[in-house]
A and B are shown apart, each in its own frame.
Chain A
Amino acid sequence: MRHRLPELGSLLAVAVLLSVLPFTLSDYNISLVAQVGIFFVAVLGLNILTGYTGQISIGHGAFMAIGGYTTAVMSRDHDTNLVVTMLMAFAICFVVGLLVGLPALRLSGVYLALATFALAVSVPQLPLKWSKFLGGSGGVQSHRTVTHLWLYGAAWIASAILFALAWLILRGRIGRAFRAARDSEIAAVASGIELPIYKTLAFGISAAYAGVAGALFVMGTNGFAQPSEFGVFLSLQLLVGAAVAGLGSLWGILAGAAFVGLLPTVSGSVPVIGSAHGRNVVFGAAVILVMLLLPEGFAGLLTRLRRLARA
């Protein structure tokens, strides 16, 4: 237990910080930190898939869309409790993720990345076709909306629960199987690991996380689920978040989530370049710089710092 102390300590510190923050921040800043929580869930989910089993997905925005529409439609038609819709988003996206994971078994590397990219491009088009049920380009309005504080609480409680769940899954038998599949498929099969089961399972879990993030995301946009909110850019943002966090580690995810959750919003107010396009210039340049300077992401930076501290 002793060697876990620094990790437990930092978790506790983050938890304390997050529970104090709402008392000190303005309402707008609370919504920003809630946004980070939402990205935390999604980036965590993507990291389980891409970081631990090595299957690159550029399509997690699509799972967020499915989760988000689940919340909006259930709330609109049945006035379902929003927390219950989050559970439904989890379950539905888990099943969809398993279904997507099955064909993904035949693909690997770049081909899988591009096939999931196809998912990211296609799913936001579906509401336009079935506009009666899914609201067309105007979107679906949930029956209820939530305050920023409620969203903050929901996002970070969900983050805590899902982080603990991810940690439990990844430290045990399943996590070892995931990592074995990533490092060498042949060695994994030779050690008796049923690759199809574990690779599909990783897809399901990861999609379920994205679904919860999508449900929260929709609550964060005043209960509006709109196709334009779930475009390709969102999927790319998630992948950037996972890479900046550091693939295959749980300890950089907060940094990755803050990077993609805050930077595009905050950098909109950059002087000199102006607002609207300043966002993209700063965000794009930051993404490139971070990848050039920290190829292993923030988790890699932490490992390096720890090694320095020990030496």
Chain B
Amino acid sequence: MVAAATSRLESLCSRTAVPATSLLLLAGATGLLVGSLRSSIFAQLTVQGLALGSVYGSLALALVLVYRATHVVNFAQGELAMATTYVAWQLIQWGLSYWEAFAVTLAIAFVLGTVLQVVLIRPVQHRSVIAAVIVTVGLFILIDGVVDWVWGSALKFMPSPFGTKTYDVGGVSISRLYPGMFLVVLASVLLVWALFRFTKLGLAMRAAALRPAESALVGVRVDWMLAIGWGLAAVLGAVAGLMAEPSQFVLQPTLMQPILVYAFAAAVLGGLESPAGAVIGGLAIGVSLTLVVQYVHPITSDLQTPVAFAVLVGVLLLKPSGLFGQREVRRV
């Protein structure tokens, strides 16, 4: 499954991938497969890591969509996801089933993302990078406060969407939760990719992001395309939030903060401009963190974040625009 997933993602990004990077990924996937066949704990950790990694990856993809559309790094992306997860919790309390609440939440997230772009980001988008970043930081703090205000900081519990059963694969018992998380996230990522790749709307959105002036000339409504881009990013974030909740077992306002940090790392690792890079970066970070903490003893869970970032900075030093990013060439 690991190798299949990786190769599917790889074909997704074959146009931008560098041969050396693909070789590295192939080697990693092979290593995971061999390890999983030899040790059942390793296999369990790999599945768990992939599931967590898919959550990081989908939030990272949301960041990349926003960055490509508006060149804004959205610090509020994680808090937005957290807020929509609270919305889902509320809907379930009101009597909807889990998957009904899931669908309604995604719709709400889409509207929320679009509205935020129109109201808050559009005015600062053309000013300076830092003004837009500060607005999203303000939004981060604001959403945190509003969620705390409406729902309080007490822990909330949601029913698990996948039940508590476990699968038995060749002597390895795997909780249904992790494959479920992985598949839901993967499905939504593929849907978004298909939207961008095969529909006229997707084409217009890509055009608006890459060449705003030229697209406006051929009749693309650039402003709306960018707003829809934010809406889609919020939907992906909502999926990430909803799938992160069962893995932490509780819902609380800090739900997405550690995940946002890893999503940033994943997005940068993949190169901020590359959607496939973000997803692969997320999976790589999820798997490697889970395995490193288990097997490399000097690295306890306290050091998990510093080590992840040391690796990230190391990668950036070798390739300043990420593994799948393209260097900007400027004319003097």
Interface check A283, CB cutoff 8 A = yes
Q: Decide if B145 touches A280 in the complex (CB within 8 Å).
A: yes
- A292 partner residues in chain B, CB cutoff 8 A: 120, 123-124, 135
Q: Decide if A118 touches B302 in the complex (CB within 8 Å).
A: no
Q: Decide if B306 touches A113 in the complex (CB within 8 Å).
A: no
- Nearest A residue to B304 via CB reads A125
Interface check B65, CB cutoff 8 A = no
Q: Decide if B145 touches A111 in the complex (CB within 8 Å).
A: no
Q: Decide if A277 touches B145 in the complex (CB within 8 Å).
A: yes
- Nearest B residue to A293 via CB reads B123
Given contact pairs A273-B149, A281-B142, A284-B143, A291 touches B124 in the complex (Cβ within 8 A): yes
| B contact residues, range | 35 or more
Selecting from A33-41, A152-160, A239-247, the interface stretch reads A239-247
Q: Decide if B141 touches A287 in the complex (CB within 8 Å).
A: yes
Please classify the interface of chain A as helix (H, G, I), strand (E, B), loop, or mixed, using the class held by over half of its residues: helix
Complex Cα spacing A123 to B75, Å: 20
Interface check B332, CB cutoff 8 A = yes
Against A, the Cβ 8 Å flags (1 = close, 0 = not) of B130-153 are 110111011111111110110001
Q: Decide if B305 touches A50 in the complex (CB within 8 Å).
A: no
Q: Decide if A129 touches B332 in the complex (CB within 8 Å).
A: no
Interface check A84, CB cutoff 8 A = no
- A279 partner residues in chain B, CB cutoff 8 A: 145
- Nearest A residue to B299 via CB reads A129
- Nearest A residue to B321 via CB reads A111
Complex Cα spacing A125 to B140, Å: 22
Report the minimal beta-carbon distance from B93 to chain A, rounded to whole angstroms.
20
Q: Choose one: A103, A128, A277; the contact of B302 (CB below 8 Å).
A: A128
Q: Decide if A110 touches B67 in the complex (CB within 8 Å).
A: yes
- A285 partner residues in chain B, CB cutoff 8 A: 138, 142
Q: Choose one: A122, A243, A274; the contact of B134 (CB below 8 Å).
A: A243
Q: Decide if B302 touches A125 in the complex (CB within 8 Å).
A: yes
Q: Choose one: B67, B127, B306, B313; the contact of A103 (CB below 8 Å).
A: B313
Q: Decide if B134 touches A291 in the complex (CB within 8 Å).
A: yes
Complex Cα spacing A280 to B138, Å: 9
Complex Cα spacing A243 to B134, Å: 7
Interface check B312, CB cutoff 8 A = yes
Interface check A196, CB cutoff 8 A = no
Report the minimal beta-carbon distance from B208 to chain A, rounded to whole angstroms.
20
Q: Decide if A186 touches B133 in the complex (CB within 8 Å).
A: no
Report the minimal beta-carbon distance from A204 to chain B, rounded to whole angstroms.
18
Q: Decide if B140 touches A118 in the complex (CB within 8 Å).
A: no
- B75 partner residues in chain A, CB cutoff 8 A: 236
Report the minimal beta-carbon distance from A283 to chain B, rounded to whole angstroms.
6
Complex Cα spacing A247 to B265, Å: 27
Interface check B320, CB cutoff 8 A = yes
Interface check A9, CB cutoff 8 A = no
Q: Which residues, 94 to 152 on A, are CB-close (under 8 Å) to B?
A: 103, 106-111, 113-115, 117-119, 121-123, 125-126, 128-129
Complex Cα spacing A116 to B138, Å: 19
Q: Decide if B134 touches A284 in the complex (CB within 8 Å).
A: no
Q: Decide if A239 touches B134 in the complex (CB within 8 Å).
A: yes
Q: Decide if B127 touches A295 in the complex (CB within 8 Å).
A: yes
Interface check A276, CB cutoff 8 A = yes
Interface check A278, CB cutoff 8 A = yes
Q: Decide if B145 touches A118 in the complex (CB within 8 Å).
A: no
Q: Decide if B309 touches A56 in the complex (CB within 8 Å).
A: no
Q: Which residues, 45 to 77 on A, are CB-close (under 8 Å) to B?
A: 50, 56
Q: Choose one: A118, A273, A278, A283; the contact of B313 (CB below 8 Å).
A: A118
Q: Which residues, 231 to 276 on A, are CB-close (under 8 Å) to B?
A: 232, 236, 239-240, 243-244, 247, 273-274, 276
Report the minimal beta-carbon distance from A126 to chain B, rounded to whole angstroms.
7
- B134 partner residues in chain A, CB cutoff 8 A: 239-240, 243-244, 287, 291
Interface check B264, CB cutoff 8 A = yes
- A110 partner residues in chain B, CB cutoff 8 A: 67, 73, 129, 272
- A287 partner residues in chain B, CB cutoff 8 A: 134-135, 137-138, 141-142
Given contact pairs A103-B317, A107-B316, A243-B131, A121 touches B138 in the complex (Cβ within 8 A): no
Against A, the Cβ 8 Å flags (1 = close, 0 = not) of B291-305 are 000000000101101
Given contact pairs A276-B148, A288-B142, A292-B120, A239 touches B137 in the complex (Cβ within 8 A): yes
Q: Decide if A122 touches B305 in the complex (CB within 8 Å).
A: yes
Given contact pairs A111-B272, A240-B138, A291-B134, A118 touches B265 in the complex (Cβ within 8 A): yes
Complex Cα spacing A119 to B310, Å: 9
Report the minimal beta-carbon distance from A65 to chain B, rounded to whole angstroms.
13
Report the minimal beta-carbon distance from B267 to chain A, rounded to whole angstroms.
8
What 7 pairs between A and B have smallest CB-CB spacing? Answer: A280-B145, A284-B142, A287-B138, A284-B141, A281-B145, A277-B148, A118-B309
Q: Which positions in A face B, CB cutoff 8 Å?
A: 50, 56, 103, 106-111, 113-115, 117-119, 121-123, 125-126, 128-129, 186, 232, 236, 239-240, 243-244, 247, 273-274, 276-288, 291-292, 295
**Would you mind naming 7 contact pairs between A and B with Cβ atoms under 8 Å apart?**
A106-B320, A107-B316, A232-B261, A243-B131, A277-B153, A283-B141, A291-B138
Beyond the given A121-B305, A284-B144, please list 10 additional residue pairs across the A-B interface where CB-CB is below 8 A.
A110-B73, A121-B261, A121-B309, A125-B306, A232-B257, A277-B148, A280-B141, A281-B142, A281-B145, A295-B131
Q: Which positions in B face A, CB cutoff 8 Å?
A: 67, 73, 75, 120, 123-124, 127-131, 133-135, 137-146, 148-149, 153, 257, 261, 264-265, 268, 272, 300, 302-303, 305-306, 309-310, 312-313, 316-317, 320-322, 332
